[in-house]
Each structure stands twice: as C-alpha cells, then as structure tokens.
C-alpha cells in the first residue's frame, strides 16, 4: 500500500471520528432530536464515502481498512443515533403520569386541605367586583354595589 494513500486514509478516519464527536456534542447542547442527529450523521457519512471512494481507487482490491471504513460509514447514522438517544435523559412517559395520578387519587390528599368559604359582591350597576370587604361603594361607577336605583 502506498504510504501517502495510507496516510490519507488514516486522516479520513481521524477527521470522521472528530466530526462525529463534534456533531454529537452540538446536538446535546442544542437538545436536538435523535432523528435530526441521524440525518446529520448520514450526510456526514455520505461526504466521507465520496472521499473514501477516491482513496479506494488508489488502493488494492479488498483492502481491509477500506472495507472496515465502508462498513462504519454504512451504519454510522443508525449506530450513533442509538448511542445518542441512549445518552438523552429519560422523559416521563404519558402512561407513567396517568399511573401516578391513578395511584395518588386513592389517597385523596385534598381532604387534608381546609377551605375557607368566601363571597365577592359585584356591582349591580356596572358589574365590577367589590374591591375591599365592607366597602359597598363601587370604585368604578361610584354607586352602592348592592342597591338598585340611584344608590347615591
């Protein structure tokens, strides 16, 4: 094998590894979906396959390094997507949310809460709510909030 071609092949492998690592790090920072990561990885593999095809033309048929790199490029999107998806924090599934609600509903936690009855008057003239308790003069229209008529 020509040493220059071997060096270029090793460089291609190194660049591919670096590019995959950078892509995955950027995806984690951006909280990208696994599908988007796979698309980017497949585009990266496509570009690297073009470079590999040029190098393979200068190498002997059936070269093991070329075959290994071709296999890596063919499965890059799938394998790295799986690895990326596994590294993401787990999200609560809807079924677990409903299971939790069903389990805690039987405990009836609302029975422990003490509720105070309340009432708010609203002005019979303009509909504005009473602003302060025991203040029956409407702050909006100036009339008595419970008496119909002039209310003055």
CA distance 35 to 23: 13
CA distance 129 to 150: 18
Q: Residue 104, Cα to own-chain centre: how many angstroms?
A: 28
**pLDDT at residue 92 is higher than 60:** no
**pLDDT at residue 98 is higher than 60:** yes
Region 93-120 average pLDDT: 70
The answer to whether the CB of 124 falls within 8 A of the CB of 145 is yes
| 110-143 pLDDT, tens digit each | 667 776 777 788 899 999 988 888 888 999 899 9
Least confident of 11-20, 56-65, 77-86, 121-130: 56-65
Residue (of 124, 39, 112) closest to 78 by Cα position:
39
Mean of the per-residue pLDDT values for the chain?
84
Q: Where are the domains of the chain?
A: 3-94
Residue (of 3, 7, 80, 67) closest to 37 by Cα position:
80
* Helix 34-58 vs helix 3-30: crossing angle, to nearest 10: 170
Share of the chain above pLDDT 70, in %: 86
Residue (of 69, 74, 73, 72) closest to 56 by Cα position:
69
Share of the chain above pLDDT 90, in %: 34
What pLDDT, on a 0 to 100 scale, did the predictor assign at position 126? 92
The H or E element spanning position 35 is helix 34-58
CA distance 60 to 66: 10
């Amino acid at each position: 094998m020509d040493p220059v071609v071997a060096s270029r092949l090793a460089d291609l492998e190194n660049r591919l590894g670096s590019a995959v690592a950078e892509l995955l790090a950027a995806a984690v920072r951006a909280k990208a979906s696994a599908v988007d990561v796979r698309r980017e990885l497949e585009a990266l593999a496509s570009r690297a396959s073009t470079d590999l095809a040029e190098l393979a033309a200068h190498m002997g048929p059936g070269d093991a390094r070329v075959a290994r790199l071709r296999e890596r490029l063919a499965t890059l999107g799938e394998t790295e997507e799986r690895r990326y998806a596994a590294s993401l924090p787990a999200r609560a599934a809807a079924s677990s949310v409903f299971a939790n609600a069903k389990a805690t509903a039987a405990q009836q936690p609302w029975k422990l809460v003490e509720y105070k009855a309340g009432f708010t008057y609203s002005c019979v003239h303009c509909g504005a709510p009473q602003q302060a308790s025991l203040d029956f003069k409407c702050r909006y229209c100036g009339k008595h909030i419970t008496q119909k008529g002039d209310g003055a």
